[in-house]
Copies of this chain bind each other. A is one copy, B any other.
Amino acid sequence: MLRVAYPATLPPELLRDFPEGVELIPVSEHLDQDLDIDVWIPDPYPTRAMRAWPHLHGVRLVLSLLAGTEWIPTVVGPHVTICNAHGAHNVATAEWTITAILAMLKYIPLYLDIQHSGVWKRRFEASAQYAQITGDARPLYPPVMLEDLSGKTVLLVGYGAIGKEIERMLEPFHVDLIRVARTARTTPTVHPVSELDALLPTADIVVLILPYTAESRWLIDAPQFALMRQGALLVNAARGPIVNTDALVNALRAGKIRAALDVTDPEPLPERHPLWSCPNLFLTPHIGASSPNFAPNALRTAADELRRYMNGEPLHNVVQAAI
């Protein structure tokens, strides 16, 4: 019988699709005994998962419920195979990204502020905001009170499952899409990361949706902000440390760029951190992948991978093969 540990907080009915021949063992974050386990489904909150780990013995396979697994290899070591929930969170994360882009281009934070003030005529402030952010000083008539996404140039940095989903959702807006990833490809054209600096000045919107690795740490730093267009929008739906936070704070305070972040570095963002009060910033507390479908999708992906593992078939979502 294969012993599969899962977070005790997970309602057991979500595990109904798991294969026969599996012993399902709920694991709380406050384990008071050691357990022999074959397969570990860690709690999606890393701090809770890490508290359980020292009590688990014999783990050969980790099935993460998340797309990003960057904390797992250092905790479990190289002798364990790690799979992510590839595909399970594409839709929610891509939808957050489209929402963040549109919310910034339509000045939703400003309009909510106007709504709270209860004064209709403050709408004209949006026109001043447009001129200030974009640096567009032409006499515009009527005053411009929001921007179109249609026709903009979007630089998509990362072209995995979620990146492709973002591309799909951008399609009706006829944006000019430029793709960048670790591995250059053709059909469609994907530029290598080495060309990022050359491409940054061409983009109105830069979307980060690549894995966090040693190579992608601080991929966006002060020189990259300097290369970006006046008023360009940086969207980080990936991981916080892909951006140098100090450089980001400087670029925002200087009015050079605007940003929408679902992830930060550090995370959680401490109270009184300068990011909280930066101008032209929209920030959500790492909720992009959250959705009523989160757990059902992630557990269906894990159950499928477990079935392949038990049948000796090749796994689909390996992010680390055991050595």
How far is B275's CA from A120's CA once the two chains are assembled, in angstroms?
A: 12
Q: Please tell me if the beta carbons of B119 and A292 are within 8 angstroms of each other in the complex.
A: no
Report B-chain residues with C-beta under 8 Å of the C-beta of A130: 292
- What is the CB-to-nearest-CB distance from A106 to chain B, in angstroms, rounded to a whole number? 5
Band of interface residues on A: 35 or more
A99 within 8 A of B: yes
B290 and A118 contact, CB distance less than 8 A: no
> Does A218 sit at the interface, judged by CB under 8 A?
no
If the complex has contacts A142-B44, A292-B144, are A126 and B11 also in contact, measured as CB distance less than 8 A? no
Q: Digit string of A277-290 for contact with B (CB within 8 Å is 1, else 0)?
A: 10001111111001
A47 → chain B, closest Cβ, in Å?
13
A277: chain B residues within 8 A (beta carbon): 118
The distance in angstroms between the C-alpha atoms of A285 and B124, with both chains bound, is: 10
Nearest chain B CB to A145's CB is how many angstroms away? 4
| Contact indicator B106/A285 (Cβ below 8 Å) | no
Contact B145 A290 (CB under 8 A): yes
* Cα distance, A147 to B98, chains bound together (Å): 14
Partner pick for A287 among B96, B121, B126, B272, CB 8 A cutoff: B126
